[in-house]
Amino acid sequence: MKNSVKFLLAVVIAATGWTRIEADTTSEAGSKTSGEVSLEGVVTARSIMGETKGFFFLQDDAGGVGVVMEGDQKDLPRAGYQIKLTAEATDKSYLNYKAMELVNTNANMPRLTVVRDASDAGAVKDALGKYAVVPGTKFEGSKFKGGEMIKIATSNAKFDAVTSMPLDGYSVPQYDFNFFGVIASNDIVGGDGSGNILVTTRVVPVSASETRKFATQQTCFTCHLVDKKLVGPAYLWVAQKYKNDPDAISKMVEQIENGGMGKWGPIPMIGFKGRLNNDQMTELADWIHEMRWELILNE
């Protein structure tokens, strides 16, 4: 009976010219050059290149693979989404999107791959397609142009980085930061595959870890968490509220200094006047405000 089924399947495939490749991992999917693949994973980075073109990266335990998506970019899955994907394999480094099923909108991001030396070709190759952090990097330029490349420099290497459409018009941050996202072959943006690009999920100032320690010392995390409501609002909510406000820092400093109630509910915030100086309050406000990049990149 089993042999009969196999024979019938072979006849169907021969007659239609269509083949289906079941790929259990992104690694298997990325190695195929044709056919349909099905896999499941977590979206680690994405970029909107225009109204009808974008791409994202899907990662599982075996690695990661890029997926080009044509059509309405409102449907482009966000970082942290866990999805079941159907796609078409290509002879490039990426797959062509066909359909997806949303499994979870708040999945845990994969374990970070750390690329400490961006000039190390072996380390970069090992990180391709995976959720990674490249410490101590800096953007070159003054304004982002959505859908275009911008140079990113580390202490020993330079990359082209993709500027997703939501970044269009924003001023480029002029500080050293830790880059979180995906290193990928440039063929996903029309290159010849001989070079690499960086696709950003979030950027975090190098100084953020020290500010976080300071915030902990000042008991800020007694009332606030980064992404969830505690007593007070999540810091990401505050960053969302002020992300396009030119007076964001001064408004947040005033709130930290004087406290108050009503903006986020009936529970009052205790002011830090006399406990922190203006520079310290400004440092905290900057730290919260810089969280806006993660929100902008996921719009």
- Per-residue tokens: 259: 């406290």
Residue ranges in the chain modelled with pLDDT below 50: 1-21
Model confidence pLDDT, tens digit, residues 19-47: 444 557 888 888 889 999 999 999 999 99
pTM of the full structure = 0.83
Range of the domain at 168: 113-205
Residues 55, 76: one domain?
yes
Residues 134, 184: one domain?
yes
Q: Which of 172, 188, 205 is the last residue of a domain?
A: 205
pLDDT at position 23 is 58
CATH for 275: 1.10.760.10
Q: Answer yes or no: is 13 within a domain.
A: no
Q: Which of 48, 80, 104 is the last residue of a domain?
A: 104
The whole-angstrom separation of Cα 99 and Cα 113 is: 28
For residue 153, the number of C-alpha atoms closer than 13 Å in the C-beta half-sphere is 6
pLDDT at position 2 is 39
Are the C-beta atoms of 182 and 272 separated by less than 8 Å? no
pLDDT at position 5 is 36
Residue with tokens 């930061």: 177
Domain count, the chain: 3
CATH for 36: 2.40.50.140
CB count, 10 Å around CB of 84? 13
Residues 92, 23: one domain?
yes
Model confidence pLDDT, tens digit, residues 192-230: 999 999 999 988 999 898 999 999 999 999 999 998 899
Residues 42, 88: one domain?
yes
